[in-house]
Amino acid sequence: MKQSRYKWVLQETTDEADVLLPELAARNLPEALSQLLWQRGIRSPEQLTAFFNPSLAELHDPYAMHDMEKAVQRIQDAVARGERILVYGDYDADGITSTTVMKEAIELIGGDVTYYLPNRFKDGYGPNTAVYQEFIAAGIQLIVTVDNGVAGHDAIQYAMEQGVHVIVTDHHELPPELPAAYAIVHPRHPEGRYPFGDLAGVGVAFKVATALLDEVPAEFLDITAIGTIADLVSLTGENRVLVKHGLEALKQTERIGLQMLCQTAKISQADITEETVGFAIGPRLNAIGRLGDASPGVELLTTFDDVEAANLATFIQQKNDERQQLVKRQTAEALEMVSELAEAPVQVLAKKGWHEGILGIVASRVVQETGRPALVLSVSEDGLTVKGSGRSTEALNLYDALSSVKEYLTHFGGHHMAAGLTLPADNLDHVKAGLADYVTQTGIDMSQGQELTIDQRLQVSEATLPFIQSLQLLAPFGTDNPSPYFLLMPEKIRQAKQIGADFSHLKFQMVTEGNELDCIAFGMGADIHEFADGNDVQVVGQLSVNEWNGFRKPQLAVADFAVEGLQVFDCRGKRGQSQMPLPEGRVAYALFDEKNLDLLKQVPEEKILLLKDGSVPSSDVPIHIDDLVLVDCPYNQQLVKELVQATGCKRLYLFVTSREEYYLNGLPTREQFGRLFKLIAQFKVIDVRYKLDDVASFLRLKRQTVIFMINVFFELGFVTIDDGLMKRVESPATRPLTESRFYQEMTEKIRIEEFFLFSDIKDIKQWFLQQEETT
């Protein structure tokens, strides 16, 4: 049995979704979409139509947002009076696009506007008093924040005291006390009446632009889509409208910088999707802010100069390459630390020299790999301070967990799934212990892993091109509207092979009743042995169309898998598969011959089961063994059956080494027995104590073969052996060789070796399953 990495949560089906069937039939769409739509809150034909065809006319009145009228009037007054305006943004993709929208909107109404993106290492997040002081001293008369501000008390208070109004436009969580700004434009402000609270920072800026320009600014839809997707806000309601139309705008954008970025990143502009933005464009804009100054992002989006655009796109690509290498190196270092540490409910990993800008990404990779929450922290050069980011799972609210150890933290912030924190290095052990205590005291079960919501079960035959194309009607996919996950249980897996430069990915086919589905499993190359027998596998993934060389085929991107029942892994040297990774954790190594103990020099003694007396010592067998390794060949099949039952194992590794190689040597032929008998008759007396090697040499047989033949003759009464001297018995009774117990035991050993060492692994597994059925 192979446990899934995630905790699978299968959505329930409901007959209520049938209300959507007539509308789907009218559109010639598959009935299976009704359940998927219902799960996404689409409960009527009218909602279905709006979902499939989101219109800009559905965008809400921007003036329903708190302080919108006051903010717009102040900006218009500033433009009319020729005041100098500062747009103060943020260093991520949402902040870059928010800044661009606000800056260009103010320019369109004739404003004198500049912008500033704080440096995450020098200025930190949000309003910075020193920066405000500098700009006010240089003559700035109005400050408009985008994607930040609701927690910027000190800087905003300073500006207001200097007579410089601050207009806050933000979408982050509202603190209990808001800053004393001139206006706070926020979709979830308690005194507002805006009907959609999940706008990204760029979405709020877009609404301000709409109010300023007195129309929906279609020219900003392209970059609004980028910021909305990159910030992982809910892709429902108004965000769905903005992104749906924004993606179409991106395909034909006239922004030279975006065109150049697509060329540099080898992105087909005509084929841009939310996935392109989320995995290619967004990360590139984020990369510059992670590693330094994010301002080139705004310059890229606003420039009209071809040469400048090309240079900026190249620079951003280089920063992204640098970011990828840093993430790869630091993730490897972090995972190595995880493997060396005792298992903890929350992994706290700290190291000097780690780049602060990518710690959140690394933490996400660690969580993905281990299924446990992780804090990834960088130790300052002087070794006194630790700073970093954390990512969590559904089981643990990271903000609450950090709150339980807040006395050891300099400061922290975040939410259920992510957090940032700073603390003195001397407090690190206290934080580790405190987080472990919190998990224990709250009774949180960390063994289940992250949840993975599965939308539907699906047959291999149902994964057709038309069905996959119909799923695109649910796009754009993202938070609260994910691309559907399907559970498939094929009859068999075939053609599993490792692919990629480092063989880190896996490709295989699922087959049921002659229907095939190609599968790609990124990062699962090391799991190829799990698919060895191809049976009882359950696979969860997302469907797409794979286009190659003019051909289009359905394909499943595997997110997780599990294997039911007993698994038998072929590690037999004769099969050339001994490079399989050995199991860890609750494992036992079964040894049937004490002479083979030298094969387990590196195995802890408590994990070795020595079964030399032919019975299972139940008192010595560990309880709940997950993995059982058969080290040498068991010449007692009943013993193996009892051992598997006693341990309750579900994963069996077959090394089954045989030094004697009974099957390869085989039984001596009647002709060979005859030659030995003639030799005994010829010499009357043979000293088998000292002349055995001479006898073997003369007969051109192995020494062990000759010993076996002599034992058979002795047992059948054909010879006598006294004090090492063997003599022929005159006129012995005629008896067949098969009557000999030695002969029978050798025949059985040969049969067992043939089965365990040379049978197909599927036949061996079937034998074990039959033993379970007859228990």
Whether 686 and 654 map to the same domain: the answer is no
Q: Which pLDDT tens digit goes with each residue over 108-131?
A: 999 999 999 999 999 988 999 999
Q: Which of 363-372, 447-456, 707-716 has the highest mean predicted lDDT (pLDDT)? A: 707-716
Whether 547 and 620 map to the same domain: the answer is no
Q: pLDDT at position 2, please?
A: 87
Structural domain count of the chain = 5
Query: Is 747 part of any domain?
Result: no
Whether 482 and 381 map to the same domain: the answer is no
Query: Domain holding 180: CATH number?
Result: 3.90.1640.30
- Please give the structure tokens belonging to residue 209: 């632009």
Query: Is 340 part of any domain?
Result: no
Report the distance separating Cα 113 and Cα 480, nearest Å: 36
Query: Is 514 part of any domain?
Result: yes
Q: Range of 432's domain?
A: 346-445
Query: Domain holding 535: CATH number?
Result: 2.40.50.460
- Please give the structure tokens belonging to residue 656: 């089954």
Query: Is 19 part of any domain?
Result: yes
**Residue 576: pLDDT above 70?**
no
Q: Which of 2-11, 257-266, 457-466 has the lowest mean pLDDT?
A: 2-11
Query: Is 338 part of any domain?
Result: no
Whether 216 and 139 map to the same domain: the answer is yes
Whether 181 and 307 map to the same domain: the answer is yes
Last residue of some domain: 393, 426, 445? 445
Whether 589 and 699 map to the same domain: the answer is no
Query: Domain holding 419: CATH number?
Result: 3.10.310.30
Whether 174 and 69 map to the same domain: the answer is yes
Instruction: Name 140's Cβ contacts closer than 8 Å, sequence gap at least 6.
Output: 84, 85, 86, 114, 164
| Portion of the chain with pLDDT greater than 90, in percent | 78
Query: Is 328 part of any domain?
Result: no
Query: Is 324 part of any domain?
Result: no
Q: Which pLDDT tens digit goes with each residue over 51-105?
A: 999 999 999 999 999 999 999 999 999 999 999 999 999 999 999 999 999 999 9
Query: Is 746 part of any domain?
Result: no
- pTM score: 0.84
**Amino acid letter, residue 756:** F
The span from the first CA to the last CA of the chain, in angstroms, equals 19
Collapsing DSSP to helix, strand or coil, 409 comes out as: coil
Whether 728 and 760 map to the same domain: the answer is no
Whether 536 and 667 map to the same domain: the answer is no
Whether 121 and 259 map to the same domain: the answer is yes
Report the distance separating Cα 465 and Cα 406, nearest Å: 53
Last residue of some domain: 563, 579, 597? 563
Whether 576 and 698 map to the same domain: the answer is no
Q: Which pLDDT tens digit goes with each residue over 605-637?
A: 888 888 876 666 665 555 578 899 999 999 988
Whether 458 and 530 map to the same domain: the answer is yes
Last residue of some domain: 523, 548, 563? 563
- Distances from the Cα of 423 to the Cαs of 112, 152, 356, 427, 512, in angstroms? 42, 21, 14, 7, 55
Count how many Cα atoms sit within 13 Å of the Cα of residue 42 in the half-sphere of its side chain.
28
Instruction: Name 234's Cβ contacts closer than 8 Å, sequence gap at least 6.
Output: 198, 478, 479, 480, 481
Mean pLDDT value across residues 347-351: 95
